[in-house]
Amino acid sequence: MFRSLVVPRAAARSAFKQNSLPKVVTPSAIARLSKRSYATEAEEKDLVIIGGGVAGYVAAIKAAQEGLKVTCIEKRGTLGGTCLNVGCIPSKALLNNSHLYHQILHDTKNRGIEVGDVKLNLAQLMKSKDTAVTGLTKGVEFLFKKNNVEYIKGEASFASEHEIQVNLNEGGERTVAGKNIIIATGSEATPFPGLEVDEKRIITSTGALALEKIPESMVVVGGGIIGLEMGSVWSRLGTKVTVVEFLGQIGGPGMDTEVSKAAQKVLKKQGIDFKLSTKVLGGDTSGDKIKLDVEAAKGGKKETLDADVVLVAIGRRPYTAGLGLEKIGLDTDERGRLVIDSEYRTKLPHIRVIGDCTFGPMLAHKAEEEAVAAVEYIKKGYGHVNYGAIPSVMYTHPEVAWVGQNEQEVKASGVKYKIGSFPFSANSRAKTNLDTEGFVKIITDAETDRILGVHIIGPGAGEMIAEGTLAIEYGASSEDIGRTSHAHPTLSEAFKEAAMSCYSSAIHF
């Protein structure tokens, strides 16, 4: 923050009091007085972070570890953002516990386990989720204290290029100044025109995490990861779920087509219905049932779907409301994303942007990587994120995970490629677990054997994809993986055998 060299009147009067008058009022004395006056208004921090979600809190902790004086501003009242509060963490709690419930109901007889009357206590299920969330958000707050990060609860907006005005949650205002500023305000659910969200009947993923009773029927608008995960939760608990997707496949365009078809087949067998290449025209919420009008995406016969609850899951959009970006002239693109360069800088170099409110996949782990890199740019002048090695996971059962390029992308690039795959039905650990749906698929460059993409559908896919991510990060070949010993019996042996089938042949299939 640029400071005026003019001595404030009050400070000047104090400086020239009898018996305290210096023989010469030096420039350094003037600077000290000016600085003291400025500090009473807003102490300047090395770094001010707007947003305490995954991107913001990781940046705050990393910066503090690097010796910077850091302030993090978050209006939610709890740290962790969407991910910890109403996203990744609570959804996984419900996915895990609903899977256990479903497994007890349908998958114990062949295991030699006889159960009696199984009941679901929805309130306790939600309480278990909330306990996990509270523990983790409090844990982040503890890390702030441990690393001396100042945490301000309130809504931030730019007063100037270096000053942030905060409307405090507890009342009142405060101004914080920063030599450097990071915007990490995240994203929000994209609304669907004509369907007004009330989080009771027309819901987003936030409402899907907090329904007070099990609906008889649910229509999920959007067949991406969020829609399929939350649809799976309620399907397991007894809801009749129908997924309406505009595209011709589920899982979004990033998912490998072969894997997408396999996932749809398994989820269909679990009771979820799909209407692909279908668009929603509108809805009527006036009756006991919501009536949703749909038709084929390319035009055709219209149809009306009835549902107790409609989950709108058509994606997320950057959240920058109330920041006052217009005051400092920051640019956003046509999708509302803040425009940055390769070092996360806006047109004002001391202001950087990371996470969901700028470019790239809206994933918590991507935001974490950007947080560390952005702080390193500030502190050291260099940082790095390999966007070609960012994994994605869908936590249905079986899980779906991938990293790198899918087959349709490799084919479009014109690169000659090979595919190696191995089914979990031939994996000894999967067979002993009676959990054999799915396969591992590895795509390699036909000339160099370098791994271009890894795609897994099956048990433990979300954990196993770490090996694929590491392989792509280090430029490994399929032979590198195939000649690496994997413990027996483990699910990861399917990964090794898929790699072997790329450059030679799998042993057990």
| Domains of the chain (ranges, CATH numbers) | 45-189+318-380 (3.50.50.60), 202-314 (3.50.50.60), 398-503 (3.30.390.30)
Tens-digit pLDDT profile for residues 410-442: 999 999 999 999 999 999 999 999 999 999 999
Residue 114: Cβ within 10 Å count: 7
Q: And the tokens for 232?
A: 């799976």
Q: Is 464 assigned a ligand-binding role in the annotation?
A: no
The pLDDT of residue 41: 58
Q: Is 229 assigned a ligand-binding role in the annotation?
A: yes
Beta bridge partners of 278: 296
Instruction: Of 73, 342, 83, give the one whose Cα is nearest residue 182.
Output: 73
Q: Is 185 assigned a ligand-binding role in the annotation?
A: yes
Q: And the tokens for 316?
A: 């997320």
Q: Locate tokens 């501003």: which residue?
A: 73
E strand segments, 184-326: 187-189, 202-203, 217-221, 240-244, 273-275, 278-284, 290-296, 302-307, 309-312, 316-318
Rg (CA), the chain: 27
* Cα–Cα dist 176/280, whole Å: 46
Q: Is 451 assigned a ligand-binding role in the annotation?
A: no
* Cα–Cα dist 195/183, whole Å: 30
Beta bridge partners of 290: 307
Q: And the tokens for 489?
A: 């019996």
Which residues in the chain show pLDDT less than 70? 1-42
Strand 163-168 versus strand 240-244 pairing type:
unpaired
Tens-digit pLDDT profile for residues 382-408: 999 999 999 999 999 999 999 999 999
H-run or E-run covering 463: helix 461-473
The pLDDT of residue 342: 97
Q: Is 231 assigned a ligand-binding role in the annotation?
A: no
Tens-digit pLDDT profile for residues 236-292: 999 999 999 999 999 999 999 999 999 999 999 999 999 999 999 999 999 999 999
The pLDDT of residue 31: 41
The pLDDT of residue 22: 35
Q: Is 365 assigned a ligand-binding role in the annotation?
A: yes
User: Which stretches of 238-334 are DSSP H helices?
Assistant: 257-269, 325-328
Q: And the tokens for 354?
A: 């990371």
Q: Which residues contact 17 (CB under 8 A, 6 or more apart)?
A: none
Chain CA centroid to CA 483, Å: 34
* Cα–Cα dist 173/152, whole Å: 11
* Cα–Cα dist 242/265, whole Å: 14
The pLDDT of residue 170: 97
The pLDDT of residue 202: 98
Q: Is 186 assigned a ligand-binding role in the annotation?
A: yes
The pLDDT of residue 329: 97
Q: Is 126 assigned a ligand-binding role in the annotation?
A: no
Q: How far is CA 354 from CA 107, 211, 383, 389, in A?
A: 43, 32, 13, 17
Q: Which residues contact 428 (CB under 8 A, 6 or more apart)?
A: 488, 489, 493, 508
- Indicate which residues carry an active-site annotation: 488
The pLDDT of residue 20: 34
- Can you count the helices (H) and strands (E) in the chain? 16, 21
Q: Is 362 assigned a ligand-binding role in the annotation?
A: yes
Q: Is 123 assigned a ligand-binding role in the annotation?
A: no
Q: Is 50 assigned a ligand-binding role in the annotation?
A: no
In eight-state DSSP terms, residue 337 is P
- Do 258 and 407 contact (CB within 8 A), yes or no? yes
